[in-house]
A = this chain, B = another copy of it.
Amino acid sequence: MKSGYHLEADEFRRLGHQLIDWIADYQQKVETLPVLSQVKPGQVRSLLPAAAPEQGESWGRIMADVNRIIMPGITHWQSPNFFAYFPANSSGPAVLGDLLSAGLGVQGMLWTTSPACTELETHIMDWLVDMLGLPAHFKSSQSGGGVIQDSASSAALCALLAGRERATQFSGNEKGLRAPLTVYASSQTHSSIEKGVKIAGLGKENLRLIPVDDHFAMRPDLLAAQIARDRKEGFLPCFVCATVGTTSSNAIDPLPAIGSICRQEGVWLHVDAAMAGAAAVCPEFRNLQEGLELADSYCFNPHKWLFTNFDCDCFFVRDRAALIQTLSILPEYLRNQATESGAVIDYRDWQIPLGRRFRSLKLWFVLRHYGVEGLRFHVHQHVDLARQFADWVAASEHFELAAPRPLNLVCFRHKGGDEINRRIQERLNQSGALFLSHTVLNGRHTLRLCVGQTHTALNHVQKAWELIQAAAQD
């Protein structure tokens, strides 16, 4: 029997260098690969053996299977021809920061389990407040603070729970939910709010989807009317989610009006800017977040449009005490002097899980490599490319814009109706040349082109427009 099966340090060096080169090669050729994976259901599994290997296998065999089995089953989110959904962009510095996090292998549930993991995170979340022109009360030096969550869904759930508990004087946590609480979002709000309402035990029937205006933005007058009606009927309104840049069409809910309703009503206001929030690195786009000072919580995802690989959602609260009171637990086996001194943050009380990765490293690497100037340049360039594309659509005979284009998402359609739009989308996605997704606006099938991949440049957007026009002609 062998004395041990671990990878030797020298082997780790050699294989690590090979893998770094493999990734660099991948990034250089990714734009030539079919963006949407062309495999059929079950195809990847059919190539895998029925059982785990009894004896260990060589690195060569493992990487051969990566190339043969895994790669055909990849939808290339890092392709510059990926225009679907919202992006999940990344960058070299982010990948290296994430690698360092894996190499250190720390678990940052408590300050004491790696003080740097907590303090770097707190610190760069404060940096972001200044970088993005966010309200100063989101800083840890004031009443608030920021924390990295895995996703905007989890951030929204934490916000919703804090809103639920604040409205019930924290009795939901203790006694369980009895009072009929209500939650408000627009009909265009991300599905994570519906999911959060279910998880939190509030019930989908108590989620009020407020109608939107012609620009797909929440109607604050209807929000106020609904809240009034609910109060009259004995409901307790506890939470409103407003969106800066909806997933469907990038609509911007009017924060000043929504915010003053929430303040007046004492209802927790969460603002979800999962993709659009990154745009605030450019001062000229900060008008989109006007009124944010009225929010109780806010999130945006560097893993969407700030060159930081998934997962990295930045979540800020105005009153950290409310969040901590909602989520804190302290079993004996986690007690320690630093926690009891009250001088430190224990991020386990700011999130759903207990354990956590050292995720701030990758974001720190990105901020330092690019500088604010570099991030501003690339985000601005993406918006310019989307504007250019929208101009082509607007000038075209056969296509039309389906919604305003505040930033990097263009919603458009062929004038020939739903069926032709579906067929254009299907043909393009099956071709592998680019990947578009869709939504339904005013009952009509609408194509979405979102410019946010790290290496997307003018030639990719030009080619996309040519291919879209060609597909329409066929």
Q: List 10 A-B contacts (CB under 8 A).
A: A5-B369, A44-B115, A59-B369, A73-B120, A77-B104, A77-B113, A172-B201, A248-B331, A332-B440, A352-B352
Whether the pair A204, B174 counts as a contact (CB closer than 8 A) is: yes
| A116-149 contact mask (Cβ, 8 Å, vs B): 1 or 0 | 1101101110011011000000000000000000
Chain B nearest CB from A293 CB (Å) reads 20
Whether the pair A54, B371 counts as a contact (CB closer than 8 A) is: yes
Partner of A20 from the list B20, B43, B78, B354 (CB cut-off 8 Å) is B20
Whether the pair B56, A374 counts as a contact (CB closer than 8 A) is: yes
* Interface membership of A28, Cβ < 8 A: yes
Please classify the interface of chain A as helix (H, G, I), strand (E, B), loop, or mixed, using the class held by over half of its residues: helix
Whether the pair A44, B116 counts as a contact (CB closer than 8 A) is: yes
Residues of B within 8 A of A123 (CB): 44-45, 48
Question: What separation, in Å, do the CA atoms of A327 and B157 have in the docked complex?
Answer: 13
Chain B nearest CB from A374 CB (Å) reads 3
Whether the pair B455, A355 counts as a contact (CB closer than 8 A) is: no
Question: What separation, in Å, do the CA atoms of A123 and B332 have in the docked complex?
Answer: 38
| A181-198 contact mask (Cβ, 8 Å, vs B): 1 or 0 | 100000000111011001
Question: What separation, in Å, do the CA atoms of A448 and B48 have in the docked complex?
Answer: 41
Q: Which 3 A-B pairs have the closest CB atoms?
A: A201-B201, A176-B203, A73-B116
Whether the pair A53, B367 counts as a contact (CB closer than 8 A) is: yes
Question: What separation, in Å, do the CA atoms of A461 and B361 have in the docked complex?
Answer: 32
Question: What separation, in Å, do the CA atoms of A31 and B28 have in the docked complex?
Answer: 38
* Interface membership of A154, Cβ < 8 A: yes
Residues of B within 8 A of A104 (CB): 26, 74, 77-78
* Interface membership of A285, Cβ < 8 A: no
Kindly report which residue of chain B lies nearest to residue A331, judged by CB atoms. Answer: B191
Given the interface pairs A115-B44, A309-B105, the reply to whether A378 lies near B5 with Cβ below 8 Å is yes
Within 8 A of B (CB), among A254-282: none
* Interface membership of A338, Cβ < 8 A: yes
Question: What separation, in Å, do the CA atoms of A198 and B200 have in the docked complex?
Answer: 8
Residues of B within 8 A of A120 (CB): 44, 48, 70, 73
Residues of B within 8 A of A352 (CB): 153-154, 157, 195, 199, 352
* Interface membership of A37, Cβ < 8 A: yes
Whether the pair A96, B201 counts as a contact (CB closer than 8 A) is: no
Chain B nearest CB from A297 CB (Å) reads 16
Residues of B within 8 A of A329 (CB): 191-192, 194-195
Whether the pair A203, B180 counts as a contact (CB closer than 8 A) is: no
Give the size range of A's interface with the partner. Answer: 35 or more
Kindly report which residue of chain B lies nearest to residue A201, judged by CB atoms. Answer: B201
Whether the pair B181, A203 counts as a contact (CB closer than 8 A) is: no
* Interface membership of A465, Cβ < 8 A: no
Within 8 A of B (CB), among A201-221: 201-206
Kindly report which residue of chain B lies nearest to residue A124, judged by CB atoms. Answer: B52
Chain B nearest CB from A424 CB (Å) reads 15
Residues of B within 8 A of A400 (CB): none
Whether the pair A41, B6 counts as a contact (CB closer than 8 A) is: no
Kindly report which residue of chain B lies nearest to residue A327, judged by CB atoms. Answer: B195
Given the interface pairs A78-B105, A102-B95, the reply to whether A177 lies near B176 with Cβ below 8 Å is yes
Given the interface pairs A23-B99, A103-B23, A115-B39, the reply to whether A355 lies near B153 with Cβ below 8 Å is yes
Question: What separation, in Å, do the CA atoms of A375 and B53 have in the docked complex?
Answer: 11
Residues of B within 8 A of A2 (CB): 374, 377
Binds B, one of A10-18, A225-233, A466-474: A10-18
* Interface membership of A90, Cβ < 8 A: yes
Chain B nearest CB from A11 CB (Å) reads 7
| A326-355 contact mask (Cβ, 8 Å, vs B): 1 or 0 | 110111111000100101100000001111
